[in-house]
Structure formats: C-alpha cells, structure tokens
Amino acid sequence: MLRLFKRFGGLRLKTLSVPHQQSYKLSTNASISEMQREKETFQDFLPGIIDSLMTKSKFAGIPEVAEWTKEVLQYNLQGGKKTRGLTTTYAYETLESPENITEETIKVSRAMGWCVEMLHAYFLVMDDIMDGSTKRRGLPCWYLQPNVGLGAINDSILINASIYETLNVHCGNLPLYRNIVDLFNEAILYTSVGQHLDYTMAHRNKNDYSLFTVERYSSIVKYKTAYYTYKLPVCLGLLLTNNADPETHKRAEEICLEIGHLFQMQNLAEHTTVKILHTIRYLYNQLAFNVEPKEKLHKTHKSSILQAYLKRTQNSRGSGPVG
C-alpha cells in the first residue's frame, strides 16, 4: 500500500512511520509532471466514456434524454482535481502484477475512475441544492443554470444511473463485476449516512451544542468523505486485479479511512485563520485539563469559536464533499 500512497498528490504526507521499521519519506513533488500527464490522459478519456454511454447503454433508445444526460455529465464532470478517479487507476497500476497490466485493463480502470467521478458529481449536485450553494469549482451550481432549477434533483439521478450503465458497458464481463457494483452501492449508502449526519448538525437548534463531539466529527468524516474518496477507488483497484480476499479489503479499508481523516483535517486547516487556530488551542488546553469550557472559557474566546463555526455552517449549511 505504501507505493500507492506515494502517488496521492492530494495528500501532503511527509513521513510514514512503520513500527519496528524505518521511516519512509513520501515525496509528492518528484513526479508532478508524471501526475499531470496522467491527469490529462484521464481527462481525454471522458468523451469516449460519454459517447459509449449514449450509444451502447439503455440511453441509446431515448435520444432526447441521452442528449440531455450528455449535457448534464459534461457540465458536472468538468473541473476539480479528479483525485478519486485518478486514484482508481493508480491503485490498479500499483497493486497489479506488471505482467498483467495491458492497454485494455488500463482503459477499464479509467472507466471505473470516471464512474467514481460521476458518483462524486452526483453527490455534489444534491449537496449544492441542500446547502443553497451558488458556486461549484468556480462555476454556477448546476441547479442555478437556466431551465434546470429543481430539475437538478432528477438530473442527479441520471448521473447515478450513468454510473451503472457505464460499469455495465466497460466492466460487465469482469469476473468480479458483482463485487464492483456492491462496492458502489456501499459507497452511496455510507456517503448518504454521512450527509445526513452533517445536515442535521448544520440545521440543529442554534443553541444546541450537544452534537459538538469528536465522535460526531469522526463519523461525518468517515461516512461522508473517507469511504468514497479513498476506500472506493483503492478497493476498485484491488477488484480489478481479481483480488476479493475479505482480509485484504478489510485492511485496505482501515488504512483508507485513516487517510480520509488526514485529508479532511488538511482541508479544514487550509480554510482556518491563525486567530481560529489560537482559539482552538485555547479550548483544547481547557478540555485537556478537564475544565468545563462554560466555566473557565473567557467570553471572547467562546464567542469567537461559536461565531467561526456558525459562519461556516450558515455560509455552506454543511461542509460538503471536497474537490
């Protein structure tokens, strides 16, 4: 797994300490040009994915809907880092024996990767509606496009359906096809669970802070982000190597969920001011000594913490998927 994590350009990992072994330095700068080339190749693969979806799937018999779905996909799959899709191909290339890697298997891994990106787009379209967002990746949210509106809800379902149609076209003959479909279903379930936890947190009674717990935060990160951002791509790579060993997948899941926590922490840190960091440190020190915040925390510190969180939730009504 170490070789795979070296390729995670979105994570700024510096060292990985393995018990009783040396510390490995993970460089994320050495292969920037290689990663950029792979991203461009991956991006160039999309038109073929959409064309095959329009001509070889169930959409082919409904030209009007096929054309609209094509527009929906083209708009909502543009931009972003493509971390999830690229990781799917990286996982396969890293975990497969070199002699088994062919041009055809790489194409299948890219098709899988675009299915993961479709899943991401599906969540983003719905998330933007729920949060009342206005921009996504520098462009107006899909539901704000002319002649779209709340029809975006059905469009998100079309994106979701496109996942399974694409899987059927490009992966339907694979020995572990059923496992692949099950993995996508699991990702949808768990991400929806995380979305519910996050949504209820953002829409709680404004004076109720009972949900402000480490356990709640960890659950949101685990279910809303980590499963479909890391576990799904990595385990898809494993399945493409015909590895369905439960113990291997369990271990991969454990590692991927930990990386998901790191990913979310780094994302939050990038959007946190020095003032908020000092406030969080002050609060942590109070809690570390088992001191009740409402008894010992100065009013100005308490106010700034609450204002920072409320500003974030009021602006976005939830953290939303990343990327």
pLDDT in tens, 132-152: 999 999 999 999 999 999 999
Q: Which has the closest alpha carbon to 125: 77, 169, 179?
A: 77
Domain of residue 8, residue span: 2-18+35-316
Residue 94 within a domain: yes
Confidence of residue 222 (pLDDT cuts 50, 70, 90): confident
Degrees, nearest 5: CA angle 46-120-204: 160
Q: What is the CATH number of the domain that holds 188?
A: 1.10.600.10
Note whether 300 and 283 are within 8 A (CB).
Answer: no
Note whether 221 and 260 are within 8 A (CB).
Answer: yes
**Structural domains of the chain, count:** 1
pLDDT at 252 over 60: yes
Note whether 65 and 71 are within 8 A (CB).
Answer: no
Q: What percent of the chain has pLDDT over 90?
A: 53
Confidence of residue 10 (pLDDT cuts 50, 70, 90): very low
Average pLDDT of 116-137? 94
Q: Residue 59: its pLDDT value, please?
A: 93
Q: Residue 260: its pLDDT value, please?
A: 83
Note whether 205 and 212 are within 8 A (CB).
Answer: no
Residue 89 within a domain: yes
Taking the C-alpha atoms of residue 139 and residue 220, their distance in angstroms, rounded to an integer, is 26
Residue 23 within a domain: no
Residue 159 within a domain: yes
In Å, how far from its chain's centre is CA 283? 30
Taking the C-alpha atoms of residue 290 and residue 311, their distance in angstroms, rounded to an integer, is 28
Residue 28 within a domain: no
Distance (Å) of CA 183 to CA 116, 151, 186, 231, 252: 11, 28, 5, 9, 13
CA contacts within 13 A on the Cβ side of 96:
20
Residue 26 within a domain: no
Residue 194 within a domain: yes
Q: Residue 275: its pLDDT value, please?
A: 63
pLDDT in tens, 266-298: 766 666 666 665 665 665 555 544 444 444 444
